Copies of this chain bind each other. A is one copy, B any other.
Amino acid sequence: MFGTRAIKGRAMTHAETLDRAVRAIEERSYWSAYPEHPKAYGDEAPVAGEAAFRDLLGKAFATDQAHDGYLEVAESSPFGIELGVTYPATDVDSVMSAATAAMGAWGKMSAEDRADVCLEVLDRLAASNFEIAHSVQHTTGQSFLMAFQAGGPHALDRALEAVAYAYREQKRLPDSLTWEKPQGKRDPLVIEKRWVTRPRGVAVLIGVSTFPTWNGYPGVFASLAAGNPVIVKPHPGTILPLAVFTRIAREVLAEKGCDPNVVQMIVDTPDRPVGKDLVMRPEVGIVDYTGGSAFGNWLEENVTHAEVYTEKAGVNSVMLDSAADLGPVFQNLSVSMTMYSGQMCTTPQNLFVSESGVTVDGQNVSYVDVVGGFTKAIGGLLGDDARAGAILGAIKGTDTLDRLADATGLGNVLLESREVPSEEFPGATIRTPAIIEVDGSSDAFRNEMFGPVIFVVKTTSTAESIELARDAALANGAITWLAYTTDDAVLDEVIDAAVDAGVSVAFNLTGGLFVNQSAAYSDFHVTGGNAAGNASLTDPAFVARRFVTVGIRIEP
């Protein structure tokens, strides 16, 4: 058996874990139920997990879900290994009718019992962290460590956080109540009241190619905890991680005596997409989506019969005004701007620097020296092939390579992209980022250039830097800002602009925390305040509409 014992040093019951998670969302201080260090999962886990992953390759993915043969898919590995997994073929009618059938009993379970099942699924996923890490690595192009941490424990943190929010919101109402309204000298009006929560409807996850579990779990687990059956439609190029999730979730559901069709998967291919048919079904009550803006906007505009939570594109910015020391600034930026080749929705894309330079420890450092130092820091960090590979991961998607190729025409190339060879994976597609210099009149930096393209934007002043970052965020969305300043007035101006633009903002990161990372229980993800989407991950707004409350009044 799996369960909590698979993780070192933990022996909390699910109820205790849930209570602790509820406390974490109230306090917003650091907490995690799932260690991020691979060693915490025992000595045998790495080998067993890799073997489990290898055993999935080149064959039909085993499932107990009803299906009609297997589908050849367009999934491929950015590291160049042959995946060759085929997936159970099904259709929208089949999964929708099975989901609808599963909703009754799942929706009628108590919030406690559903949370208990969800937490058991999370523990089983934790026990399969290595299998999932390899699946994430080889479908998304993330380095192994990122795939392990972001795809495993950090995704589980976000999932548990979502369960805690959904659970707490459902438990806000008293179980029952005798309501008495005084009537002056007459007898009071007395009525017995209670409330029943029920699911919104069938929930659909439209998965993303880069962080299928981290971005997928919050919506899935919020929906499950609130009583909704979930249909998972993975990105056609990144299927395996969510297939493993679906398998594990169904195993736990069956063991707990629930209908395993509470979680189902439907797989498609780029030439025969099923996403639109799926979400337009009237049974659908919830859609969670992470991915490009085009489909996200389509969902927001067309799926008006369901709650839609999106995370779309964003133009993330760094404003460099002043600092105590540029060395640690560049150290932090060179990691945050290159990690996973800029394929995180939180990666800073633009570095705004005033042409008048930067104040460093009271002294002016010229624009040319600042930009030179930044470029050198990135070049240096990525100069060694092995280190570069570990940081950059591999490139997912030919679109991203195309963007990289086109980027050199957009401005003055400060650093060219280069192909990085990999000893471990000779077929891997690894590129260092191109650094392109533009000025504030350019349109290039105003749009998301997902992937390894960094813009240095030469502005007339820090005030213009802030204004350009805000305009880009308001026009095309943004998820993160990072600013460096030792000037309190500038700090306040950046905060005002961030609040205005609806962008989370960090200041003066020089150590081990990178702006790309948002912490479960503490940091919101997308604010809902700009075009980057509304999937706040996770707060009451993210869960409150996933269930419906029906009031019952009985005259005694």
How many chain A residues touch B (CB < 8 A): the figure is: 67
Interface string of A76-116 (1 = CB under 8 A from B): 00000000000000000000000000000000000000000
A429 CB to closest chain B CB, in angstroms? 32
Whether A545 and B528, one on each chain, are in contact in the complex, defined by CB atoms closer than 8 angstroms, is yes
A505 CB to closest chain B CB, in angstroms? 6
Cα–Cα distance between A507 and B534 once the two chains are bound (Å): 40
Q: Given known contacts A504-B550, A536-B549, A554-B506, is B499 in contact with A198 (CB within 8 Å)? A: yes
Chain B residues, Cβ within 8 Å of A551? 504-505, 523-524, 527
Whether B179 and A555, one on each chain, are in contact in the complex, defined by CB atoms closer than 8 angstroms, is no
Q: Given known contacts A196-B499, A512-B183, is B552 in contact with A545 (CB within 8 Å)? A: no
Say if the beta carbon of A406 comes within 8 Å of chain B. Answer: no
Stoichiometry (number of copies): 2
Whether B544 and A539, one on each chain, are in contact in the complex, defined by CB atoms closer than 8 angstroms, is yes
Interface string of A398-422 (1 = CB under 8 A from B): 0000000000000000000000000
Find residues 500-556 in chain A having any chain B CB closer than 8 Å to their own CB.
Answer: 500, 502-513, 519, 522-524, 527-529, 534, 536, 539-541, 544-545, 548-555
Tell me the nearest residue of chain B to A328, going by C-beta. B555
Whether B507 and A553, one on each chain, are in contact in the complex, defined by CB atoms closer than 8 angstroms, is yes
Contact among B491, B522, B550 with A502 in the assembled complex (CB-CB below 8 Å): B550
Whether A172 and B553, one on each chain, are in contact in the complex, defined by CB atoms closer than 8 angstroms, is no
Say if the beta carbon of A442 comes within 8 Å of chain B. Answer: no
Cα–Cα distance between A409 and B26 once the two chains are bound (Å): 60
Say if the beta carbon of A301 comes within 8 Å of chain B. Answer: yes
Cα–Cα distance between A186 and B512 once the two chains are bound (Å): 10
Q: Which stretch (A27-35, A362-370, A383-391, A452-460) binds chain B?
A: A27-35
Chain B residues, Cβ within 8 Å of A524? 195, 549, 551
Whether B513 and A552, one on each chain, are in contact in the complex, defined by CB atoms closer than 8 angstroms, is no
Chain B residues, Cβ within 8 Å of A1? none
Chain B residues, Cβ within 8 Å of A500? 198
Say if the beta carbon of A15 comes within 8 Å of chain B. Answer: no
Chain B residues, Cβ within 8 Å of A550? 498-499, 502-505, 527, 529
Chain B residues, Cβ within 8 Å of A548? 502, 527-529
Chain B residues, Cβ within 8 Å of A464? none
Say if the beta carbon of A495 comes within 8 Å of chain B. Answer: yes
Cα–Cα distance between A180 and B521 once the two chains are bound (Å): 13
Chain B residues, Cβ within 8 Å of A545? 528, 534, 541
A322 CB to closest chain B CB, in angstroms? 14
Chain B residues, Cβ within 8 Å of A509? 553, 555
Cα–Cα distance between A180 and B30 once the two chains are bound (Å): 6
A442 CB to closest chain B CB, in angstroms? 25
Say if the beta carbon of A74 comes within 8 Å of chain B. Answer: no
A274 CB to closest chain B CB, in angstroms? 22
Chain B residues, Cβ within 8 Å of A506? 191, 552-555
Cα–Cα distance between A541 and B26 once the two chains are bound (Å): 18
Whether A552 and B505, one on each chain, are in contact in the complex, defined by CB atoms closer than 8 angstroms, is yes
A526 CB to closest chain B CB, in angstroms? 10
Cα–Cα distance between A548 and B539 once the two chains are bound (Å): 11
Chain B residues, Cβ within 8 Å of A191? 506, 513
Say if the beta carbon of A251 comes within 8 Å of chain B. Answer: no
Tell me the nearest residue of chain B to A303, going by C-beta. B304
Q: Given known contacts A193-B522, A544-B539, is B29 in contact with A505 (CB within 8 Å)? A: no
Contact among B499, B505, B549 with A527 in the assembled complex (CB-CB below 8 Å): B549
Chain B residues, Cβ within 8 Å of A182? 30
Interface string of A26-55 (1 = CB under 8 A from B): 111110000001000000000000000000
Interface string of A317-345 (1 = CB under 8 A from B): 00000000000000000000000000000
Q: Can you report 11 residue pairs joining A to B where beta carbons are below 8 Å apart?
A: A29-B179, A189-B512, A195-B524, A196-B499, A504-B551, A506-B555, A513-B555, A524-B549, A524-B551, A539-B544, A541-B545
Q: A524-B549, A524-B551 are in contact. List 13 more A-B contacts (CB 8 A).
A: A28-B173, A196-B499, A200-B529, A499-B550, A505-B552, A507-B553, A507-B554, A507-B555, A527-B548, A527-B550, A534-B545, A540-B544, A544-B544
The 3 closest A-B pairs by CB, nearest first: A529-B548, A541-B544, A506-B553
